[in-house]
Amino acid sequence: MKYHQQPTHSNKGVPVANSIHHSNKIYNYFKTLNLSQFLSDVYLTHLMTIIVSVFLRSYRGKTIDFAQVSQHHRTTTAYFLNHGKWNDLALEDTLKSSVIQIIYQEAKRSGQPILCIVDDTIASHAKPSSQAVHPIEAAYFHQSHLKGCQDYGHQVVSVMLSCNGIILNYAVILYDKSRSKIQIVQEIAEELPTAPVISYFLCDSWYTTAKVMDSFIRKGFYTIGALKTNRIIYPCGIRRKASDFALHLRKTDRDVSLVTVGGRKFYVYRYEGGLNDIPNAVVILSYPKEAFGNPKALRIFISTNVGLSTQEILDTYTKRWPIELFFRQSKGRLALDKYQIRSRQGIQRYWLIMSLVHYLCCMHAGKYCTFEEGYSYMQKQVKEEQLGNLYQFIKNGASIEAVIKLVG
């Protein structure tokens, strides 16, 4: 690993322009991932700048945050993101390979299924004025289910891999309408190695299409996901819209049962058979116990593994929750919806670096911990290293003016 920071010396041999924001902890991660194979010292320095700035308490994903821990003007780091000639695809491949190695090894060791969890969210931004000279690239209006209206910004498709309690982000992809979200997820399925054990693709109703399910089953992943309530099913061989069929269910029906999922009770009906384009699957119609028969409370789920019990299907589906938590953490800690980057390339590179930060937090001790635990540890570690570097700077004879300049 070639990356290092040598102090710049004055004529008296006193360092006057060194940065106190170098982190040996992060530097060692760079070595572990062999980043120097495709990133020069200059680019590794910029990468260090961005990652260290994430752990500042005031971090908002803005270039001014990067400037607080850099010897360079904030536009230099912005140029690194937007126009720098560095191999971001190599960094992406390195990160993906590391995640696959950890998750697949755990599946082989434990025999537990791999869960591939997919969902999307919107990184909201203010709509630019029609007079804007340089509007943010690849931003559109998207339907926000959270807000119940059209929301302007970038739509993020995220993929997480999980096994036996280890949950890591695998990819963050910009949906820019150049290809559909279905195509994006199919490509993810195609690039994953074949699962060493029976595994599952978990998703919401947007992704439960025959094309996606076929792509995943070829890699050893059954699908457990949500369905839209207007999906067509064929109970007793009769073509019915699921929501219409649900209106005729009664609590006393032989095929209706009460199950407990996540501490809540639900009335469920289990259908097994064909759907359009899907030869055989289990479909579960579900109502909360207190809202049985309320069309607005109806939820429908599908499993392409018909050997699972209703309880197993619903319990497995609840394991989608980590991706919702990932979105919340990414917006709260990693400024997923606050960054001020205008170019498509800069945005995608920023997301990639934030994925790297998420990975470093989860794997900082060489074994898995939750993101929040890792984030708190790394924040404390970076602060301690800053103070240690500042102490050494002063000990080496720096003037008060040089210290103020450095800290400021």
Domain boundaries, the chain: 24-86+370-407, 90-325
- pLDDT score at 408: 55
For 146-177, how does the pLDDT look when each residue is reduced to its tens digit (9 = 90+)? Answer: 677 888 888 999 999 999 999 999 999 999 88
Q: Mean per-residue pLDDT for 227-249?
A: 94
pTM listed for this prediction = 0.89
Please name every residue paired with 222 in a beta bridge, in sequence order, or none if there are none. Answer: 200
Residue 69, pLDDT score: 80
Weakest mean pLDDT among 96-105, 130-139, 280-289: 130-139
CATH annotation of 90-325: 3.90.350.10
Judge whether residue 85 has pLDDT over 50: yes
- If one compares 45 and 127, the residue with the highest pLDDT of the two is 45
The pLDDT score that the predictor gives to residue 1 is 38
Give residue 403's pLDDT.
Answer: 64
What is the DSSP pairing of strand 149-163 with strand 221-227?
unpaired
Residues 6+ apart with CB under 8 A from 4: 41
User: Is 385:392 a contact under the CB 8 Å cutoff?
Assistant: no
What is the rounded CA–CA span in Å between residue 388 and residue 21?
10
Distances (CA, A) of 100 to 107, 120, 186, 224: 10, 21, 17, 21
Q: H or E segment at 226? A: strand 221-227
Compute the distance between CA of residue 346 and CA of residue 200 in angstroms, rounded to an integer: 33
Q: Which residue has the higher pLDDT, 105 or 129?
A: 105
What distance in Å separates the CA atoms of residue 303 and residue 301, rounded to the nearest whole number? 7
Give kind and range of the element (H or E) at residue 347: helix 344-362
CA angle 82, 87, 93 (to 5 degrees): 120
**Cα dihedral sign for 89, 91, 92, 93?**
positive
pLDDT tens string 204-215: 999 999 999 999
The rounded percent of the chain whose pLDDT value lies above 70 is 91
Q: CB-based contacts of 20: which residues, under 8 Å, 6+ apart? A: 386, 389, 390, 393, 406, 407
- Check whether 21 has a pLDDT greater than 80: no
Please report the pLDDT score of residue 62 as a whole number.
85
Cα-based distances in Å from 182 to 114, 207, 210, 274: 21, 6, 10, 21
pLDDT of residue 385: 87
Mean pLDDT over residues 125-142, rounded? Answer: 72
Q: What is the pLDDT of residue 406?
A: 59
- According to the 3-state scheme, what is the secondary structure of 282-305? EEEEEEEHHHCCCHHHCEEEEECC
Please state, rounded to an integer, the average pLDDT across all residues of the chain: 89
As given in the structure block, the two tokens for residue 357 are 């930060």
